[in-house]
A and B are shown apart, each in its own frame.
Chain A
Amino acid sequence: MRQTPQLALVENKVDASEKSVRDDISSIFEQVLGHPVKITDGTDIVEDLGMDSLGVMNFVMAIEDFYDISIPLDRIAQIQTVGDLIHAVDDLRSGNPS
């Protein structure tokens, strides 16, 4: 009932070691949305990419699985742009909790 099959696809297709976080995120966006997207640090995830709140949550979970991190809800609430997301992922990967 709550399957999100595209997420499995995401985990398999992107190779974390060779790409920057922005490239990874771009690939994951494309797979979740099903079409190519052009993103910059200033891209607004909801406004520019047309994701609803549930889409954002599922997308965030895909990112979390990909990097083996958990993004706390208060951090997610602060994420508006792709740049914010990259910043949060970098922080959490470097072990900086906030």
Chain B
Amino acid sequence: MTILAKHSAQWLVYKALREHDVNVKIDSVLSPTEGLIHGRKTILLGTNNYLGLTFDPDCIEKAVDATRRQGTGTTGSRMANGNYDGHNKLEEAVAKFYGREHAMVFSTGYQANLGVLSTLVGRGDHLMLDADSHASIYDGSRLGGAEVIRFRHNSPDDLYKRLRRLEGAPGDRLIVVEGIYSMLGDTSPLKEIAAVKRETGAYLLVDEAHSMGVLGETGRGLAEAAGVEADVDFIVGTFSKSLGSVGGFCVSDSPDFDVLRMICRPYMFTASLPPGVVASTLEALIKLQAEPELRANLIRNAHHLYDGLGAMGFQTGPEVNPIVAVAMPDRETAVMAWKMLLEAGVYLNLAIPPATPTSVCLLRTSVSAAHTPQQIDTVLDIFAHVGRQLGLLSADRRRAGGAV
């Protein structure tokens, strides 16, 4: 017996997955779309590297230069010795990009949600979460003292019903949804959610982690694409996907927004981002705005993969987005397909319950603007081969079940 024996059920699952070698070690990353895994050159198709900026020469140059000039780390919090000119410039740039008065930068996207959700609402307030929210949203909801109510995924009606039940109760209401949901790549019905927000007097926060640089005329995300930016009170996001680095942020027009710097513990009690990360992020944000063709390539690749897999008979998510999820009939088939794809030179994410909605097993892919059409064709060929081997295509689809 150890102190961890209480997690014995999860330990068994972990050991089984480890036997299958599903926790891949990437020996070397060669480019935004290729890495060496088990000594083989492998197409990376599950990295959230939407604009492919991790190897952008200008971003690398800025990071190297800042590191040389300012060191490898800040060794302190924004509240103390870790508040550099770069952090402030980055906040100005993020605020300007979103057309908002204020921005706050966090050390990770996870901490941004943890910090913002635990301070915007507290005891006596009501936090309304989409049931499929990311773990960071659930964890942030637990860190604050607000009453947490979840509504059915992407259901404005269920949200409305639950807000109506709160009629007459004191306290603020904060609705939290995501731009693109990370497992299936589906978007939030934001127009309808915004209408519920207006009718019920709630506040609205949108997590654009997977939609920044992906959706909207200028890449600001789903709120921009849906034309409801004025209804969104707070936008949270991350630098670790389309901007190719690490870190999180929140933007808002709330005039007293900066009070968060004094009360937001996941912002205060952690070291700030290293200068190199700040510098590459700033440069990547410039690229995002200056090179709309990146987004065009990304969407082209998303269509290429989504349409190709669908034409073969694979069951994919409900919308064409850079996250393309392929439903597998069961856990064993999912693991087998994942291993066969990896052996054939394609890395993607194996997503199994409880990380997935409705207990579905998924092969989760994410395309990048940096993938070439030839790489996507190669991926499709390999999927076709694996699908045939496992009997997952067309005529076999009924057997595979209608999970997605």
Contact = CB atoms under 8 A, between A and B. Distances in A.
Interface of A: 1-2, 4, 52-54, 57, 61, 68-70, 72-74, 97
Given A1-B318, A53-B354, A72 B153 contact: no
Contacts of A52: 353-354, 359
A73 B354 contact: no
Nearest to B360: A1
Interface in B147-201: 147-150, 152-154, 162, 165-166, 184, 186
A40 to B, nearest CB: 25
Contacts, number: 44
B318 A70 contact: no
Nearest to A52: B359
Residue of B131, B166, B186 contacting most chain A CB atoms (<10 Å)? B131
Given A57-B131, A74-B147, 18 more contacts: A1-B184, A1-B358, A1-B404, A2-B153, A2-B358, A52-B354, A52-B359, A54-B353, A54-B354, A54-B359, A61-B152, A70-B149, A70-B165, A70-B166, A72-B147, A73-B141, A73-B149, A74-B148
Contacts of A69: 165
Contacts of B152: 2, 61
A61 B151 CA distance: 9
21 contacts: A1-B186, A1-B358, A1-B403, A2-B132, A2-B152, A2-B153, A2-B154, A2-B358, A52-B354, A52-B359, A53-B354, A54-B353, A57-B131, A57-B150, A69-B165, A70-B149, A70-B165, A72-B147, A72-B148, A73-B142, A74-B148
Interface in B199-243: none
Nearest to A60: B150
Contacts of B359: 52, 54
Contacts of B131: 57
Interface string B353-383: 1100111100000000000000000000000
Nearest to A75: B147
B358 A70 contact: no
A54 B358 CA distance: 7
A53 B317 CA distance: 23
A78 to B, nearest CB: 13
A53 B356 CA distance: 12
B162 A70 contact: yes
Given A1-B404, A53-B354, A68 B149 contact: no
Interface in B227-278: none
Contacts of B404: 1
Nearest to B165: A70
Interface in B296-340: 317-318
A1 B183 CA distance: 12
A24 B217 CA distance: 51
A82 to B, nearest CB: 22
Contacts of B317: 1
A1 B149 CA distance: 22
A68 B148 contact: no
Contacts of A2: 132, 152-154, 357-358
Nearest to B317: A1
Nearest to A54: B359
9 A-B pairs with least C-beta separation: A73-B148, A72-B147, A70-B149, A70-B162, A2-B358, A54-B359, A1-B404, A70-B165, A2-B153
